[in-house]
Amino acid sequence: MGIDPCGTCVTTSKQEAFKTCDVLIDFTTAEAMIEHAQLAHEHGRALVVGTTGLGEPEMAALKFASQKAPILQAANMSVGVNLLLSMVEKAASMLGTEYDIEIFEAHHRHKIDAPSGTALALAQSVAKGRNVNLDDALVPARYGQIGARPVGAIGISVFRGGDVVGDHTVTFAGDGERIEFSHKASDRSLFAKGAVRAAMWLGGQKPGLYSMRDVLGI
């Protein structure tokens, strides 16, 4: 049994993959992604990166690769999440520090990192909207006698349990009202769909470093 040849090459060779592909999609590890960025630079091939947990070395590798190849990096490939990133940045720019900002994220019990890359991206978006340095405002965890909430703090609360695919809510809590922006993922295929949409868009772009916002035009 089987199917007729479809013209698709399946290989375990990274060199061959980069030689023959139009666009390569990376959902691996931060360490592996650095090598893939180097290969994208070497072969001038478009690279979509959905790998999370990237630090300064990984981002530097992507910026270097973008000199010779179109590179798209996003903490979350969901179209809805990227719309959420834009919305909370706008809200943060309009609401003053009298509104406390708290980001809640929930994922399945097997997720190994916390906060999620998406939660950190949301925190970066609201910090950008408020024109503040995230490192100065971020409160990633709380325990014990912590005292009153600092003015301008951007808090993150984390839940791990069950088979939750991924929930994110950004709350702007003021006196007398709360404004909430939420995204709840119920099917992991949405990340694949977003990555394919990104790949189709990226294939026709010039070398440079892009994001899902470029794909969506926001």
Please write the tens of the pLDDT for every residue from 154-202: 999 999 999 999 999 999 999 999 999 999 999 989 999 999 999 999 9
Q: How far is CA 163 from the centre of its chain?
A: 20
Going by pLDDT thresholds of 50, 70 and 90, the confidence category of residue 12 is confident
Domain positions in the chain are 14-73+189-216, 79-185
Active-site residue, selected from the candidate residues 19, 43, 68, 111: 111
107 is an active site residue: yes
* Superfamily of segment(s) 14-73+189-216: NAD(P)-binding Rossmann-like Domain (3.40.50.720)
Q: What is the mean pLDDT of the chain?
A: 93
Task: For residue 174, list its beta bridge partners.
Answer: 177
Environment class of 195 (CB within 10 Å of its CB; exposed 0-12, middle 13-18, buried 19+): buried
> Greater confidence, 209 or 15?
209
Residue 128: pLDDT over 90? yes
pLDDT digits (tens, 9 = 90+) for 35-68: 999 999 999 999 999 988 788 999 999 999 999 9
- Spell out the CATH class of 79-185: alpha beta
Q: Structure pTM?
A: 0.81
Residue 3: pLDDT over 60? yes
State residue 1's pLDDT score. Answer: 55
Q: How far is CA 183 from the centre of its chain?
A: 14
> Greater confidence, 110 or 9?
110
144 is written with which tokens? 């014990």
Residues whose CB falls within 8 Å of the CB of residue 139, separated by 6 or more in sequence, listed in order:
150, 153, 154, 155, 156
Active-site residue, selected from the candidate residues 41, 107, 168, 183: 107
